[in-house]
Chain A
Amino acid sequence: MTNLSVNIAGITFKNPVTTASGTFGYGEEFRDFFDPGKLGGIFVKAVTGSNREGNAYPRMAETASGMLNSVGLQNKGVDHFVREIYPRIKDFDTHIIVNVSGSTIEEYVRVAEQINELQNIPAIELNISCPNVKQGGMAFGTIPEMSEEVTRAVRNVYKKVLMVKLSPNVTSITEIAKAVTDGGADVLTLINTLLGMAIDAERQRPILSTITGGLSGPAIKPIALRMVWQVHKAVKIPVIGLGGIMNATDAIEFLLAGASAIQVGTANFIDPMASVNIVEGLKAYLQKNHIADVNDLIGALKTD
């Protein structure tokens, strides 16, 4: 028997394949295609303190091997999540992790406190890396002192597993990773989108209403792999890796670089089956290479 399960900060995931926040809705939208219980976990769309309408359309621009988005945390707020959405998804046979966002430290803390009360949510992922909001968001994730401060503030109220999602829009990812670890994070997730821009030459105008937006997809994979590798070596806590994962081979590369689990993001838009196909592909890779335990792949990159 091949073991696919991984333990991250005390939570056992049946396999290391999870889905990235903002690319998988609340999981329900995928039920037509497959049973979400086949995944290790689901990171649901960002939840903020109150209702947000997000940015104006156009919010998306296709780019070479990727896309830019400037959705801007559109969601109905934490009360709505607790009341309406949680009851519908709490009994999925997989871990549901809530992506917590905000514009102020108080907002992060308030959302985290409310999610802390939800029995079937074993962890939150603090999004200090959204490039698409005017206040807060990425600002928290690009200055080490602020990253540490917001992490510590949430750590004080949140009693379960605290994951913090890092922004790649920094000079030194390890410096931020260390600051967040010092702030009390249990797990690091990386990477969020890279700040980018698209221009319509004919109209001589930006394509996105916000001018700049977040780049995702295969275009960012080499950067994501490099950052996962650097952070894995720099800190002792587990890392969850993502950025441009489209298939099982991409996922395996992240595990080798040191990720204890991976998230599938933009790939879900192109193939709703991408995440389950990655579970199957990972299993096949382990069997083909006679590896009995997926944990033997984590950080196993040979550099000699």
Chain B
Amino acid sequence: MEIKKTVQDLTVARNISLNNRHFLLDLIAPEPLPLMLPGQFVQVLVNDSPTTFLRRPFSIHQVDYPRKSIRLLVQIKGDGTRHLSSLREGEALNVLYPLGNSFSLPSVKNVLLIGGGCGVAPLLFLAQFLNQNRIRPTILVGFRTKEEVSEIEAYSAFGDVFITTDDGTEGEHGLVPDHSILQKERLPFEKIYCCGPDAMMKAVARLAALHKIDCEVSLENTMACGFGVCLCCVTPTDRGNERVCVEGPVFNIKRLDWI
């Protein structure tokens, strides 16, 4: 199904700081939201930041259709995201959306979601979507340290949550792929969805391949346009170089040359 893309001025309803590197941005649309699917993203125009020339892509973290509101989870990286972190209620933000493909609806029940860093962003929307389709996933999320562990209640509403921190201050110590639920001889999962830094996704992809579990990953290649016309964001696939912003960001690992 083709979803029509739009460019709109959305209004900042709330800017919620989670810790000194992450914040949530609630944006209200002037008219009913288009249908959006988990895995899709938006391209945000950052005004008044001279070093931010291109739009910035962010996954859709949550959608509230009745309130015409979408939520982004943003990690401060450079000037663009720093500027967004200072936005106040009532300010306008120009957004191009919805973009990209989406995670597929699984035909199986035992589903694992894995996220690390700001890669957890699309997983909340995905978890909610799975619940609506009567699937209660296992959710494994990794953070740097205790102070950055956030929104666990939100995830817990949709599935069983497991946590790792890089420094061991909460949950299991270490990186997400090292968590004990993944160290068993036979894993009780039939489908894995994963989003995070490339190194983490590749480790998860190897694990999935080893256990013959179907696995989808969401890539975060740098983008110029975000809607398919510049060909800057490509990744090699079994069909040649494909655009992460149109044919992705979600790819089944079978289609990538990772394993």
A251 CB to nearest B CB, Å: 19
Question: How many cross-chain pairs have Cβ atoms below 8 Å apart between A and B?
Answer: 83
- A71, CB-defined interface residue at 8 Å: yes
A74 and B231 contact, Cβ closer than 8 Å, known pairs A53-B240, A62-B54: yes
B8 CB to nearest A CB, Å: 11
User: Within A16-34, which residues are at the interface with B (CB < 8 Å)?
Assistant: 22-25, 29-30, 32-33
- A64, CB-defined interface residue at 8 Å: yes
- B207, CB-defined interface residue at 8 Å: no
A29, B228: Cβ atoms closer than 8 Å: yes
Binary A-proximity of B29-73 (CB < 8 A = 1, otherwise 0)? 000000000000000010000110111000000000000000000
- B157, CB-defined interface residue at 8 Å: no
- A121, CB-defined interface residue at 8 Å: no
- B19, CB-defined interface residue at 8 Å: no
Question: Which of A25, A30, A53, A57 is packed against the most chain B CB atoms within 10 Å?
Answer: A57
- A66, CB-defined interface residue at 8 Å: yes
- A69, CB-defined interface residue at 8 Å: yes
Question: Which of B50, B55, B227, B232 is packed against the most chain A CB atoms within 10 Å?
Answer: B232
A60, B7: Cβ atoms closer than 8 Å: no
Closest to A33 in B: B7
Question: Which stretch in B84-92, B112-120, B178-186, B218-226 binds the other chain?
Answer: B218-226
- Please give, as numbers and ranges, the residues of chain B lying within 8 Å of A241 by CB-CB distance: none
B53, A71: Cβ atoms closer than 8 Å: no
- Please give, as numbers and ranges, the residues of chain B lying within 8 Å of A145 by CB-CB distance: none
B7, A273: Cβ atoms closer than 8 Å: yes
A32, B6: Cβ atoms closer than 8 Å: yes
Query: How distant is the Cα of A158 from the Cα of B59 in the complex, in angstroms?
Result: 47
- Please give, as numbers and ranges, the residues of chain B lying within 8 Å of A60 by CB-CB distance: 222-224, 230, 232-233
- A232, CB-defined interface residue at 8 Å: no
Query: How distant is the Cα of A73 from the Cα of B123 in the complex, in angstroms?
Result: 35
B228, A270: Cβ atoms closer than 8 Å: no
A268 and B225 contact, Cβ closer than 8 Å, known pairs A59-B234, A60-B232, A66-B53: yes
User: Within A52-90, which residues are at the interface with B (CB < 8 Å)?
Assistant: 53-54, 56-60, 62-67, 69, 71, 74
Closest to A266 in B: B224
Query: How distant is the Cα of A54 from the Cα of B5 in the complex, in angstroms?
Result: 27
User: Within B191-236, which residues are at the interface with A (CB < 8 Å)?
Assistant: 221-236
Query: How distant is the Cα of A271 from the Cα of B53 in the complex, in angstroms?
Result: 11
B231, A272: Cβ atoms closer than 8 Å: no
A271, B54: Cβ atoms closer than 8 Å: no
- Please give, as numbers and ranges, the residues of chain B lying within 8 Å of A33 by CB-CB distance: 5-7
A217, B53: Cβ atoms closer than 8 Å: yes
- Which among A23, A74, A270 is the interface contact of B54 at CB below 8 angstroms? A270
A271, B234: Cβ atoms closer than 8 Å: no
A53, B54: Cβ atoms closer than 8 Å: no
B53, A67: Cβ atoms closer than 8 Å: yes
B231, A67: Cβ atoms closer than 8 Å: no
A24, B229: Cβ atoms closer than 8 Å: yes
Question: Which of B7, B230, B240 is packed against the most chain A CB atoms within 10 Å?
Answer: B230
A62, B53: Cβ atoms closer than 8 Å: yes
- Please give, as numbers and ranges, the residues of chain A lying within 8 Å of B131 by CB-CB distance: none
- B241, CB-defined interface residue at 8 Å: yes
Q: Is the interface of B mostly helix, strand, loop or mixed?
A: loop
Q: Is the interface of A mostly helix, strand, loop or mixed?
A: loop
Query: How distant is the Cα of A270 from the Cα of B226 in the complex, in angstroms?
Result: 9
A65, B231: Cβ atoms closer than 8 Å: no
Closest to A64 in B: B51
Query: How distant is the Cα of A24 from the Cα of B230 in the complex, in angstroms?
Result: 8
- Which among A24, A25, A270 is the interface contact of B53 at CB below 8 angstroms? A270
- B96, CB-defined interface residue at 8 Å: yes
A269, B224: Cβ atoms closer than 8 Å: yes
A125 CB to nearest B CB, Å: 17
B80 CB to nearest A CB, Å: 9
Closest to B221 in A: A57
- B77, CB-defined interface residue at 8 Å: no
Closest to A59 in B: B232
B229, A268: Cβ atoms closer than 8 Å: yes
- B134, CB-defined interface residue at 8 Å: no
A270, B232: Cβ atoms closer than 8 Å: no
Closest to A24 in B: B229
Closest to A75 in B: B231
- Please give, as numbers and ranges, the residues of chain A lying within 8 Å of B227 by CB-CB distance: 29, 272
Closest to A27 in B: B229
A28 CB to nearest B CB, Å: 9
**Which of B's residues lie within 8 Å of A, judged by CB?**
4-7, 45, 50-51, 53-55, 96, 221-236, 240-241
Add 8 more A-B contacts to A33-B5, A67-B54 (CB < 8 A).
Answer: A32-B6, A45-B231, A57-B221, A66-B53, A268-B225, A269-B226, A270-B55, A271-B45
Question: What are 26 of the A-B contact pairs (CB < 8 Å)?
Answer: A32-B4, A53-B240, A57-B221, A57-B234, A57-B236, A59-B231, A60-B230, A60-B233, A62-B54, A63-B53, A64-B53, A67-B53, A69-B230, A266-B224, A268-B225, A268-B229, A269-B54, A269-B55, A269-B224, A269-B225, A269-B226, A270-B55, A271-B7, A271-B45, A272-B96, A273-B7
The 6 closest A-B pairs by CB, nearest first: A60-B232, A269-B225, A25-B229, A32-B5, A269-B224, A71-B231
